[in-house]
A and B are shown apart, each in its own frame.
Chain A
């Protein structure tokens, strides 16, 4: 144990692997000293587990099968979270809904991260007019109101979860482009880039092999911090009926479905809302902690 520790914290790592693991370990030490960040991490891990193990935690049938005799039942031992207006088990729906939330977040991240990275790195590395035009475009998109624009996009496409994901992605890439550009501008002046150029490496190769890895940490932190916003926007669209459509167990849509019963059957709306609150709080806490741990410049 002690040996592993000293290997990880070595001042002069003997191999790239040791260096990488060592950095990872010091970041973990910084993160684990922050109790709020650990709570956030626990919530995010819980979300991942429940999405991964959903069919084993609660049978898939319970999500969709209606039981009109047992509708709107309060939480009990049989139905931990009660049942909804069609007699479906809310616990099963919330658990399976975590898959939808995770999918939305993952897809938006997969679209937004690379898109912002490419635009930002190209603008920062190439410079000149390319930079000016790309950054103008970024600034224009940055100044737009996100939710309103996402609403209009979804309306134009067709209400549905794919449109919601696309609309959120289209409106949320600009900060990543800005971030990647700022990092690239700093990295571009380094000696190792000059060395790579002297060795005859092409611009795409330099961007891919040398610039991108160094931009990644700040992009990942920013993504974690944005997750909560993405989840809230997606849930908002679902609540308005523009995101995931019934009978899909999307949490925002579930809150909307329970709206009419909120006075007498509070659990139908309240419980999916708590799920949204918890998950977005978890990402916020974790993102905050990661930023403090990995990027002391910004805190």
Chain B
């Protein structure tokens, strides 16, 4: 019973939130200044043709029925046709999404790898210079516009120093050499045993992933710091110290054990933020992911594609958000009491 309640509440809030998201995208799809019927029949069509097309497209139905039809379509994966690529939006998303996942996954690994140790350091040495340094480094990452960091990063590390690969996922020379299996280039090239392509892909992903990671590192180190500081005040820490345990062991065995659960939820949250943040990064780095797909479609007034992409990013974000909440409730006994 104790476990059932949060799970039921979780399911209810997922359904409600997803319905809300679809309602918002539905409304956005209705208020666009472009008349979708006119876009199909052209402005020289007779009123009869126009009316017939309108009826065929379902625009003469009452609004709530239109919404139900919209729901049915989206739930069955039918986001409509993209006018830009001429393919179903779902096909496009399948083609573009892996690039985004690859980018944000590498970024979260870097972000956690840097953010958590730095956060622990700042928490243990709170109020002294390591703390201030970590805080300032994080704040700069938090405050810098991602698109600008991308441009400056490309200017310095690609154009001037030539340390990393340029925009895109690969040099043109290697393009199309690897048969896409998972869609994740790093994985595919390893599966194919082609280390040359793998290292080329690595050189291309390093810069955009680090820039994204800086942002999440800022958030993660900040949260880790406050979690660690709260734990360090607990009595068990003093007990462990009195027992003569080394400070290192106190921190990594005891404190981190208690910090782990809230940390997992924070990591999940910032992964959702990365999916979103990749929109701007992808634009700067010509990264063929979902974010770039959404913005390109935007400029071509391809609303089906924009809304389809919005729904996919939105659903991932919402699921991560709510899942992290659920994990926290299930794993942390203190949350049951509240």
A interface list, Cβ under 8 A from B: 36, 136-137, 139-141, 143-149, 151-153, 155-158, 228, 232, 235-236, 239-242, 252, 255-256, 259, 262-263, 266, 269-270, 273, 276-277, 280-281, 284-285, 288
Which residues of the other chain, B, contact A146 by a CB distance below 8 angstroms? 276
Q: How far is the CA of A266 from the CA of B160 in the complex (A)?
A: 12
Q: Decide: A236 and B20 in contact? CB cutoff 8 A.
A: no
Which residues of the other chain, B, contact A270 by a CB distance below 8 angstroms? 148, 151-152, 155
Q: Is B164 an interface position by the 8 A CB rule?
A: no
Q: Is B66 an interface position by the 8 A CB rule?
A: no
Q: B20's contact among A141, A232, A266, A285, by CB below 8 Å, is which?
A: A141
Interface 0/1 of B1-25, CB less than 8 Å to A: 0000000000001001100110011
Q: Decide: A255 and B294 in contact? CB cutoff 8 A.
A: no
Which residues of the other chain, B, contact A140 by a CB distance below 8 angstroms? 16-17, 20-21
Q: Is B119 an interface position by the 8 A CB rule?
A: no
Query: Could you tell me the distance in whole angstroms from the C-beta of A145 to the nearest C-beta in chain B?
Result: 4
Which residues of the other chain, B, contact A285 by a CB distance below 8 angstroms? 139
Which residues of the other chain, A, contact B136 by a CB distance below 8 angstroms? 36
Query: Could you tell me the distance in whole angstroms from the C-beta of A33 to the nearest C-beta in chain B?
Result: 13
Interface 0/1 of B24-42, CB less than 8 Å to A: 1100110111000000000
Which residue on A lies nearest to B297, using beta carbons? Answer: A155
Task: Given A144-B318, A145-B313, A148-B310, verify A269-B143 contact (CB < 8 Å).
Answer: no
Taking chain A's interface residues, is the majority helix, strand, or loop, or is none over half, making it mixed?
A: helix
Task: Given A156-B28, A236-B280, verify A144-B21 contact (CB < 8 Å).
Answer: yes
Which residues of the other chain, B, contact A151 by a CB distance below 8 angstroms? 279, 294-295, 298, 306, 310
Q: Is B314 an interface position by the 8 A CB rule?
A: yes
Q: How far is the CA of A270 from the CA of B156 in the complex (A)?
A: 12
Q: How far is the CA of A143 from the CA of B18 in the complex (A)?
A: 9
Query: Could you tell me the distance in whole angstroms from the C-beta of B322 to the nearest C-beta in chain A?
Result: 7
Task: Given A145-B276, A151-B294, A263-B159, verify A241-B299 contact (CB < 8 Å).
Answer: yes
Q: How far is the CA of A252 from the CA of B144 in the complex (A)?
A: 12
B interface list, Cβ under 8 A from A: 13, 16-17, 20-21, 24-25, 28-29, 31-33, 132, 135-136, 139-140, 142-148, 151-152, 154-155, 159, 272, 275-277, 279-280, 283, 294-295, 298-299, 303, 306-307, 309-310, 313-314, 317-318, 321-322
Q: How far is the CA of A145 from the CA of B21 in the complex (A)?
A: 10
Task: Given A236-B145, A252-B145, A255-B148, verify A281-B139 contact (CB < 8 Å).
Answer: yes
Q: How far is the CA of A239 from the CA of B279 in the complex (A)?
A: 12
Query: Could you tell me the distance in whole angstroms from the C-beta of A184 to the nearest C-beta in chain B?
Result: 19
Which residues of the other chain, B, contact A239 by a CB distance below 8 angstroms? 145, 147-148, 280, 283
Q: A143's contact among B144, B148, B294, B322, by CB below 8 Å, is which?
A: B322
For the complex with contacts A143-B317, A156-B31, A235-B145, 12 further pairs of A-B residues with Cβ separation under 8 Å are: A137-B20, A139-B17, A144-B317, A145-B276, A145-B313, A152-B306, A232-B145, A236-B147, A241-B299, A270-B148, A273-B151, A288-B139
Q: How far is the CA of A145 from the CA of B318 in the complex (A)?
A: 8
Q: How far is the CA of A262 from the CA of B134 in the complex (A)?
A: 30
Most chain B CB neighbours (cut-off 10 Å) among A136, A236, A256, A288:
A236
Q: How far is the CA of A299 from the CA of B27 in the complex (A)?
A: 40
Query: Could you tell me the distance in whole angstroms from the C-beta of B293 to the nearest C-beta in chain A?
Result: 12
Which 3 interchain pairs have the tightest Cβ spacing?
Answer: A273-B148, A140-B20, A281-B143
Q: How far is the CA of A148 from the CA of B277 in the complex (A)?
A: 9
Most chain A CB neighbours (cut-off 10 Å) among B136, B143, B307:
B143
Which residue on B lies nearest to A299, using beta carbons? Answer: B226
Q: How far is the CA of A127 from the CA of B72 in the complex (A)?
A: 35
